[in-house]
Every structure is written in C-alpha cells, then in structure tokens.
Homo-oligomer: A and B are copies of this chain.
Amino acid sequence: MEALYQRIRQEGKILPGSIVKVDGFLNHRIDARFLGELAQEFARRFDIAKVTKILTAEASGIPLASVCSYCYGIPMVFAKKAKSDNIEGGLYRSDIFSYTYKKKVTLICSQNWITAEDKVLIIDDFMANGEAMRGLLNIVKQAGAELVGIGVAIEKGFQQGGDKLRAEGYPLQSLAIIDRADENGFVFRGE
C-alpha cells in the first residue's frame, strides 16, 4: 500500500538489529485517520460483509483494530496479556513468547466473546516472527470459529513469520512487507 510505504519512509526509524520503529503513527502516538485508510484497504482485500468479530492482541494492535471496528460496524475483541482479577469464568488461553518483552506471555480471551458461530478477521499492527499471531490463531481454533482473514499493517518480511503462515495456507494480507531495513533505508516487497 503506497501511502503506508511513504509514511514508513518518512517517519520510520531503523534501530540496530533491523528493529523498525513506527511509533509516531501506529503504536504509541496514533494517527487514527490514517489507520482509517488502512482499514479501508483491508476492506478491499477481505470479505468484510462476512465478518462477525475482529480479534487483536493488547496493546499495540488495539488502535488499528478499534478503527477497523468503528469503520466496519463490527465488534472487536482484544486478547489480554496475563490475568487480571476482573476476568471471570471461561477463558481461552494461548502461550506465546514475546520477543519485545523477552519472556513467555499468556494471551487470554473470554469464551463469552468469541464462539463457534463467529467468523473472525484478525487484525494486528505488526508481524515479525509471527508468535503473537500464532497465539491469536490458536484462540480462533479453540473457539471453533471460522477464520476469514489476517490483516497486518506492517510485516517484517525478513523474519519469515508471514511467509510461513502463507505457506501453510493462511489468508494473510500485510499492507507493507519490509524485506530489508538497514542504513540504506527500507525495501518493500513487490517494489
């Protein structure tokens, strides 16, 4: 998606180890109107009319998934990390390894809010090795729900998480796949 490439080139920062920071519009400071443009692009790529539930993971997936939920008029559920005392009763649980926090994290989601009747669109801001996405897919599977699609804003193509999911047949659409991020800047797949 050309507008996203431009935004990443203008504002993205590349830290040592090919860490890509886009916290000026996507996951710390949020430009929600721009996220609305991403939501419209997902709507061109997926059969939104079929979707009954949007699923994401806290915290940085929530802004984009919230804007998608608002634009489509479809409820959104975010899987939580760790357990707060205020979540009662039946939970889906899915263990993942967080590379951001360098530790195991358990995603939890109330069984009330994703069921076997749901047709789920997973939305996330970022994908690298795909660990968090595996956790969300596992929740969809536990629920017995149908997966309609996986929409990711930015995929780090050089970390292979997305390519593995595509090879396994998952309907993954990433709006920008970064194949290289170094001192020469960004190279996007397909350019």
Interface residues of A (CB under 8 A from B): 15, 19, 21, 23-24, 28-33, 35-36, 58-59, 62-63, 66-67, 69-70, 73, 75-78, 80, 82, 84-88, 100-102, 109-110, 112-113
Question: Within the complex, which residue of B29, B36, B76, B86 is in contact with A21, where a contact is CB–CB below 8 Å?
Answer: B86
In the complex with contacts A29-B77, A67-B70, A76-B29, A21-B88 CB distance below 8 A: yes
Tally of this chain's copies: 2
In the complex with contacts A23-B110, A35-B70, A70-B35, A30-B86 CB distance below 8 A: no
Ordered nearest first, which 9 A-B pairs have the shortest CB separation? A32-B69, A32-B70, A66-B66, A58-B59, A29-B113, A62-B62, A30-B76, A63-B66, A59-B59
Residues of B within 8 A of A24 (CB): 112-113
Contact between A77 and B36, CB atoms less than 8 A apart: no
Give CA–CA (A10, B96) in the complex, Å. 35
